[in-house]
Amino acid sequence: MTTDNVPAAPPVSTGGAAPPGDAAKEQRRANRRSRRYQRDTKWSPYGFIAPFFVFFAAFGLFPLLYTGWSALHRVSLHNPNELEWVGFQNFTRLWEDEFFWNALGNTFTIGVISTVPQLLMALGIAHLLNYKLRGSMMFRVAMLTPYATSIAAATLVFAMLYGRDYGLINWALGLVGIDPVSWEAGSWSSQFAVSTIVIWRWTGYNALIYLAAMQAVPHDLYESAALDGASRWKQFIHVTIPSLRPTIIFTVVVSTIGATQLFGEPLLFAGSPAGGSQSQYQTLGLYMYQMGWFNFHLGRAAAIAWTMFMLLILIGLVYWAITRWVNRDTAGKEA
Amino acid sequence: MHGGWLTYTILAIFTVGSLIPLVWQIIAASHSSGRLAQTPPPLWFGDRLFDNLGSAWTDANLGLALLNTTFVAGTITFSTVLFATLAGFSFAKLRFRAKNLLFLLVIGTMMVPPQLTVVPLFMAVSEVGWTDHLQAVILPMMVSAFGVFFMRQYLSQALPTELIEAARVDGAHSLRVVWHVVFPVARPAMAVLGMLTFVAAWNEFFWPIIALTQRNPTVQVALTNLGRGYVPDQGVIMAGALLGTLPLLIAFVLFGKQIVGGIMHGAIKG
């Protein structure tokens, strides 16, 4: 684009007035251009964000609110558009429902035993990858491949690996003299097995995110720490971890949201929405699916969904409070 | 700092751990179900790979499923990247009323779990008769709050405001600015976002399994059907799982370096 290329304004009827002088014409053209320019700068930002908000309103916000509305009604899957008002009955029934509490507890334990080791290992791996290494790219690509594997494919493979009689894992345990474990039937063993699928898929991905953040840490911080005689471990604790704090918070929040919604892994691990013969690894997401699409109670499924949402908001507030508290703590130290 | 042998050993263990389930999946896909029901489990390739792939292909309707998934993921990726770039540019560089409030709203929507929208979406889809139609899966995923956030972060750093002003002085209207200034600058970030979106859309599970059935499935929906037989054939199941993952795995072999670079680039830096 060059500056001498002034675009001509399109011919516009001047309303039948007598042809004005050249200067006036120029002036009017300039006015028109500046009005059009103002209109453009004023409205185009809204035009650019409009598609997002239109789709979000139609497929995000409206369903979110309507789910809250459905949760106050009896709605059957057979007749999903017939709502019968029942007030808070769907919620009070959840309160008395042992399967709901079971699913809530399972979601929590599976969430913790999948998220905590996953993020700790990712942090450690990222630290190792941050050294100068030969074949470093090969390690990174290999560790990221599980991320490209779908929940369905990964779970089908792990269900076989964890097979009681002919599974590879029990066979390997047998080699070192451990009796076969009934991975799917046990309570802790099945939750452990489901968690390993989550850990397997996401550790490499999180490691890369940590690695990216580590590479942004200035080198002189490490050099001055080394001059002060800090060991590698001390450097990791006192330089790396504090510099990574925003990234760590980000991954913790994202993993928590993911853990609250866990659905595909427990569904496919046994191939049924019950989450095991004793519902021993049924999560909230899975219970909602069973309630809505197998027991046909869409209203109660909606109530479970809203309960999950409120739990997430609660967890979000707790994280927010912790972050503020930690930040105030360090701000005080630095002052 | 260079890594010592311990570093290499630990990384090698994790690498093997990442790859073993995938390698073993191919091994299992090459055996009959009879062989798989024996101890010890097979540790090397058998000769039934192509038979099992063929059975999985027909049993799970995988030809149609792969075609559907490619179309769904492609459409979602295109629209997500386009709309996220437009909105991200607007939030990063333009001035307008209620901008901060609207951006806060975008961030807030990232917290909404898909479970919350599924019941009404299902009602709407069954009302208009879109059960089993691909638009039921595509439409709710055409935009992404994460995408808007991501493009805004990138453009507020990578796009110099002077560049926009210069184009403005030249008399370019907004769409021209977007086409000639924003898109060229945003291209690397658009590639990263497109890749992340494609992988996520390809692997999307929760909503498709509710909106679609085996008559017109995506790959993930088709795979759930494989394990459901009375006596499921494990070799065929593994072959199906392999076929469903294959396109992304091939992309990893070909573009692994760029994909890793993209993910690291897209990460939130500390």
pLDDT 10s digits, B158-213: 888 888 888 888 877 888 888 988 999 999 889 889 988 999 999 998 899 999 98
Residue of A252, A140, A127, A276 lying closest to A205 (CA atoms): A140
Looking at residue B269, what is its pLDDT? 46
User: What is the H or E stretch that residue A75 is in?
Assistant: strand A73-76
ipTM, two decimals: 0.89
In a domain, A160, yes or no: yes
Instruction: Return the residue matching tokens 């309103």.
Output: A57
List the pLDDT tens digit at each of the 335 positions of chain A: 334 444 444 444 444 455 556 788 888 888 887 787 788 878 888 999 999 999 988 888 889 899 999 989 998 888 888 888 988 989 999 999 999 999 999 999 999 999 999 999 999 999 999 888 888 889 999 999 999 898 989 999 999 899 888 888 999 999 998 888 889 888 999 999 999 999 999 999 999 999 999 988 888 888 888 888 888 888 888 888 888 988 898 889 889 888 988 999 999 888 888 888 889 999 999 999 999 999 999 999 999 999 998 998 898 889 888 888 877 766 555 44
Q: How far apart are CA A273 and CA A277, in angstroms?
A: 10
Angle at B227 between CA B225 and CA B231, to 5 degrees: 120
Query: Can you give the residue range of the structural domain that contains A75?
Result: 30-85
- Tell me which of 1.10.3720.10, 3.40.640.10, 3.40.50.11260, 3.30.70.1350 is the CATH number of domain B5-265: 1.10.3720.10
Q: Are residues A65 and A159 in the same domain?
A: no
Q: How far apart are CA A124 and CA A115, in angstroms?
A: 14
Residue of B68, B263, B218 lying closest to A137 (CA atoms): B263
What distance lies between CA B227 and its chain's CA centroid?
23
Q: Are A317 and A85 in contact (CB under 8 A)?
A: no
B251 touches A: beta carbon within 8 Å: yes
Confidence check: pLDDT of B1 > 70 = no
Q: DSSP assignment of A260-325, as one string?
A: HT--HHHHHHHTSTT-STT-TT--HHHHHHHHHHTS-BHHHHHHHHHHHHHHHHHHHHHHHHHHHH
Angle formed by the axes of helices A98-129 and A245-260, nearest 10°:
150
Q: Total domain count for chain A? A: 2
Distance in Å from the first CA to the final CA of chain B: 21
Q: How far apart are CA A45 and CA B182, in angstroms?
A: 13
pLDDT 10s digits, B224-256: 887 666 667 888 999 999 998 898 988 888 888
Alpha helices in chain B (DSSP H): 5-29, 33-36, 49-59, 62-93, 99-109, 115-127, 135-138, 145-158, 161-169, 174-177, 183-203, 206-211, 219-226, 234-266
Q: Are residues A267 and A294 in the same domain?
A: yes
Of the residues A85, A110, A128, the one at which a domain ends: A85
Q: Are residues A138 and A265 in the same domain?
A: yes
Which residues from B are below 8 Å from A214, CB to CB?
270
pLDDT 10s digits, A238-285: 888 888 988 898 889 889 888 988 999 999 888 888 888 889 999 999
Q: Are residues A61 and A144 in the same domain?
A: no
In a domain, A305, yes or no: yes
Task: List all residues of chain B from 174 to 233 with a beta carbon under 8 Å from chain A.
Answer: 174-175, 178, 180, 199, 202-203, 205-206, 210, 219-220, 223-224, 226-228
Query: What secondary structure letter does DSSP report for B269?
Result: P
Which residues, 6 or more positions from A299, have their beta carbon under 8 angstroms from its beta carbon? Answer: A70, A71, A72, A73, A74, A75, A83, A86, A90
Q: Are residues A211 and A291 in the same domain?
A: yes
Q: Are residues A38 and A98 in the same domain?
A: no
Distance from CA of B229 to the nearest CA of A (A): 10
Looking at residue B46, what is its pLDDT? 84
Q: Are residues A303 and A193 in the same domain?
A: yes
Q: Are residues A164 and A269 in the same domain?
A: yes
The residues with which A297 forms a beta bridge, in sequence order, are A76
Q: Are residues A63 and A106 in the same domain?
A: no
pLDDT 10s digits, B21-74: 999 999 999 988 888 887 788 888 888 889 889 888 888 889 999 999 999 999
In a domain, A50, yes or no: yes
3-state helix, strand, coil in chain A (%, to 5): 70, 5, 25
The model carries a pTM of 0.87
Q: Are residues A37 and A137 in the same domain?
A: no
- Amino acid type, A312: L
Q: Are B181 and B159 in contact (CB under 8 A)?
A: yes
Read off the CATH number of the domain in which A255 is found.
Answer: 1.10.3720.10
A30 touches B: beta carbon within 8 Å: no
Instruction: Return the residue matching tokens 């929760």.
Output: B206
Task: List all residues of chain A from 309 to 328 with a beta carbon under 8 Å from chain B.
Answer: 309, 312-313, 316
pLDDT 10s digits, A13-30: 444 455 556 788 888 888
Q: How far apart are CA A36 and CA A262, in angstroms?
A: 51
A294 touches B: beta carbon within 8 Å: no
Query: What secondary structure letter does DSSP report for A76?
Result: E
Distance in Å from the first CA to the final CA of chain A: 51
Residue B132 backbone class (left: φ over 0; alpha: ψ -120 to 50; beta: rest): left
User: What is the H or E stretch that residue A74 is in?
Assistant: strand A73-76
Looking at residue A100, what is its pLDDT? 94
A146 touches B: beta carbon within 8 Å: yes
Q: Are residues A73 and A100 in the same domain?
A: no
pLDDT 10s digits, A117-141: 999 999 999 999 988 888 888 999 9
Q: How far apart are CA A184 and CA A158, in angstroms?
A: 11
pLDDT 10s digits, B77-123: 999 999 999 999 999 988 888 899 999 888 877 777 778 888 889 88
What distance lies between CA A312 and its chain's CA centroid?
12
Residue of A80, A142, A289, A77 lying closest to B205 (CA atoms): A289
Q: How far apart are CA B240 and CA B57, in angstroms?
A: 7
Q: Are residues A79 and A151 in the same domain?
A: no
Domains in chain B: boundaries: 5-265
Residue A96 backbone class (left: φ over 0; alpha: ψ -120 to 50; beta: rest): alpha
Task: List all residues of chain B from 43 to 82 with a beta carbon under 8 Å from chain A.
Answer: none
- Taking the CA of residue B210 as centre, how many other CA atoms within 13 Å lie in the half-sphere pointing to its CB? 32
Query: What secondary structure letter does DSSP report for A5?
Result: -
Task: For residue B86, give both structure tokens.
Answer: 């437009």
